[in-house]
Structures are given as structure tokens and as C-alpha cells.
Amino acid sequence: MRPILTLALALPALAATAQTLTSDGATITVQSGATLYVAGGLKNNSGSNLTNEGTVQLTGDLLNAASLSGTGLLRFSGSADQTLTTAAGTSLGRLEAANTGSAGSNRVLVANDLTVTNQLTLTSGLVRTAPAATITLPDGASLSPETTGKYVQGNLRAVRTAVSGSAAVIFPNSATLTPNGLNLGTVTMTRTAGLQTADLSYGQNLGGAPKGIDRVWTVAATGAQPTDGNPVNVALSWLPEDDNGFALGSNAQLWRAGSAAGPWARQGAPGSAASRSFAADVTQLGALTISNISAPLPVELTRFTAEPQVADALLRWTTASEKNNDHFDVEASADGQSFRRIATVTGHGSTTQPQNYQLVDKAIARYAADPVYYRLRQVDTDGTASYSPVRQVRVTAPMSFAAEAWPQPFGAAGTTLTLRTATAGPATLVLHDATGRLVLSRTLGLNAGTTDLPMAELGPLATGVYVLRLSQGAQHAQLKLVRE
């Protein structure tokens, strides 16, 4: 029989003076009102069971390789860094950081994903997650106010359900969201902060600024999504430790990207962030951060629209002024995350006069997605690039049989074909040169939808023009390829 240690109300506290209290197959139950105090660490080995309905207080590390449950309080009160290691996905009722160590040595280090169902308390010191670990506060869980020297570094996720209406919803990770009448459903807000890691806790090259504050909030909603005509408002705040070189003042800007790796696009209007807080309207959820707005703007884009035109998409955009504008790359995406250039439109260089542009993207059902997403990549004469907001077009026509190549023209690395079909089954691919000579013939097995087919074997071909023909039953597609 395994030994059982039960701490009842009659035993208000149990103290251990050893450096580490080790449980090998024991069941430890800390009942409500009782305290298990360990002047050192606690090692809960495989086969053990720790149930905490009271308080477990440690001055050392917790290494849990077994069952850890209960709604009680786990308090870390050491004077040097302490480590909390549990199986990924472990849930705790309450967690308190009360570390009294000196700055830089007063952290509770969380190694794996952890959920705190009731309250995360910051009495003293920091809580810091590993870069790949996340602390989750589900709906109803709270976080004591974060202040200088006393906050959560790493990944802190907060969840709010049934987010709708016009009232502001406060998230405990320094964010407030106002849905402006939208029924957003369940909203998950994950803040990555204080890791001093580019493309993870801060973004780079945001409109010419070298970097943003050392905080990125990634926002996702299960319900309705904001649009240009119906944005949501997001307010974000941070502490001096996470300024990351940001100059407080009136030139702040909210930026949005698919992930912290960018590319970034402006959201809402610029304004002041003198109090280390900033709010703006957001027309698309995703990764959000704060940085400076670049000035002067190389191209002042005043309008960018995308709308269906029978089976096509009509894109229009207008600039109020341009400075060293070489061209626009028009990019499309089937998922709103991975974009591909579909056309290049020459800019007007430098001008103070308004300029109008438009492009028709034919037969957008070929993307095998609904909606299709578009954005503009504006490129200066020196190669500097910036991105427009993303627009979307609903697909009204059935998916056609089609083929595209990227890059085009292609070089020594070859190209990748994107093949789209509504029907799964065998297909044939043949390639001829400009004289009609057969260069390549292949038999393919296509799935319904979109298939990416790398064609590295085209890299050694001589420079020139080639014709690719693709057939699947009665369906045919033809594509001109250029080897440069």
C-alpha cells in the first residue's frame, strides 16, 4: 500500500526543513485551511498524487512528474529564481509569485503550458514563461495589477466568452476590446512580452521604424470578424521595462500582422502614447503591437477597395501623393496569411497629384477559397517596401480548372505550380519549348482543391519561353513559362 499523507484542518501547517521534499508514490492531500510549507523544493515523482485545496508554499523549485490537482494556492516565496515544472496543460486553482530576491533573480520560471483557473497573484517578483510555454487565464480568472518589476514575462493568454454588444471587455493581460456591436464569440488574447526577441515579443521594420515595443498581442475570435465598415476598438498598455527604445509622444501607431514576424500594416489613426497606452480601431484581428509611424510617408494611400465583378475581382486604389514610388506588387491569398504576387503595377515616382490605379484578377474561383484576400506591397525606388491593409472578396463562381506558376519568370531553382481542380483524379502535364519540341511529360494524381507541385527539374532548362499544358479528363489548362 502506498503511504498517504493527509493534512486536515486540525493540522494548520506542516513544515519541512530539508532542501527538497520528495514524494515517491505517496498521496499528499492539503485540505482547505491547511498549509504545506517547504523550506526548499518539492519533487513529486511519477506515481505520486498531490491534491491541494489549501496552500502549498515553497522557497525552492516544484518539479511535478505526477498528478497535481486542486483549487488551492501554490505560493513561491523564495529569495532566488524558482522553477515551476509540470506536465503541459496542468491546471492550478491559484498561483502566487512572492519571490523576494533581487532584480533579475526574483522570478518564477514556468517551463510548460499552464492554466490558472482562479487567480494569478503578483505579490513580489516576476513570472516568466519559457518562449514556447503559455500561461492561460480562462474566462473568470483574474490577474492582480501588474506594475514595474512585478508582471508576467513571456506568453500570457486570456480568454473571454460571449464577447458582443457595445461595452468594453477588459482582458487581464493589459488589453481592452470594444466589439462595437459585433458578436465576436469567444475572443482569445495572447500577449508575448519582455522576452527581448525579434519577431516574437516585438516586431521589426514597422513602416520604417526599427522595432516596436517589447509586447505583441495576438487576437483571435470565433465569431464575426471586424471589417473596414465595422471595426473593433483595441486599447493596449505596457510598462517602462518593455519600451524597447520606443519614444513616447504623439507619433505612436498601432500595427497589425499575421504573426509577430510581420509584415506589418497600420491600423487606425496615429496618436499619443505618452502614458504608455494606446487605442485604435482594428479592421482585422491578428498580431498587434505599438511603434512609431514613419514620416514622411513615401506613398499616401487614401483608398484601397476590392469587390467582386462577376467571376473576377476588381481592385482599385488611390494615392494622394507619392515619393520615389517605383511600383505596387498586388498580392493574393487563399487563407489571409500566405500571400503571393499576382501582378505588378508601375507607380508614378514622385508626385503631389492624386493617382488612381486598378487591376482585375480574373476567375478568382481558381483559388479554391472563399473569400480571397488581397493586399498591396508598395516598393520605393531604393527597394524599401510597405504593405496596405488587407481586403477580401467573396467568390461567386464555381472553382475552375487552372494552373499558376511561382516565381514567374523562374531561374535556376525552378518554379512551383499551383494546380486547382474541383475533381480528384489523374492528370497529365506536358511541357514544350518555343519550337514545339517536347521537353517534359508527367502523370499526376490530383486531389480536389489546390495542389502545390515543386518543379525544380525546370531549373536546368535553357533561357526562353515554354508552354505547359495540363489535362484532367475533359478539362484543360495552358500556361506560358519563361526561363530567365
Give 402-409 contacts, CB < 8 A, sequence gap 24+: 402/363, 402/366, 402/477, 403/468, 403/470, 403/477, 403/479, 404/366, 404/479, 405/455, 405/468, 405/479, 405/481, 406/340, 406/341, 408/481, 408/482, 409/481, 409/482, 409/483, 409/484
Is omega for the bond preceding 231 within 30 degrees of 0, making it cis? no
The predicted structure's pLDDT at residue 382: 84
Task: Write out the three cell numbers for 484.
Answer: 530567365
> What would the pLDDT profile of 389-439 be if each residue is shown by its tens digit?
788 898 865 556 788 887 888 888 888 888 888 788 899 999 999 889 999
pLDDT grade for 298, boundaries at 50, 70 and 90: low
The predicted structure's pLDDT at residue 400: 66
The predicted structure's pLDDT at residue 376: 92
The predicted structure's pLDDT at residue 386: 79
pLDDT grade for 7, boundaries at 50, 70 and 90: very low
Q: Could you identify the residue written with the cell 517536347?
A: 438
The predicted structure's pLDDT at residue 92: 95
The predicted structure's pLDDT at residue 397: 55
Mean pLDDT value across the chain: 88
Cα-Cα-Cα-Cα dihedral sign, residues 447, 448, 453, 458: positive
The DSSP secondary structure of 453-468, one letter per residue, reads EEEGGGTTSPSEEEEE
Task: Write out the three cell numbers for 138.
Answer: 480562462
Q: Could you identify the residue written with the cell 506588387?
A: 329
In percent, how much of the chain has pLDDT > 70?
94
Facing residues of 290 across strands?
Answer: 254
Question: What's the CA gap between 246 and 249, in Å, rounded?
Answer: 9
Give Cβ neighbours of residue 132 (< 8 Å, ≥ 6 apart).
none
pLDDT grade for 220, boundaries at 50, 70 and 90: very high
Closest by Cα among 304, 266, 305 to 288: 266
Give Cβ neighbours of residue 316 (< 8 Å, ≥ 6 apart).
303, 304, 305, 306, 356, 357, 358
The predicted structure's pLDDT at residue 204: 84
Task: For the beta carbon of residue 110, count every other beta carbon within 10 angstroms.
Answer: 23
> What would the pLDDT profile of 307-330 be if each residue is shown by its tens digit?
988 888 999 999 877 888 999 999
Task: Write out the three cell numbers for 180.
Answer: 462595437
pLDDT grade for 207, boundaries at 50, 70 and 90: low
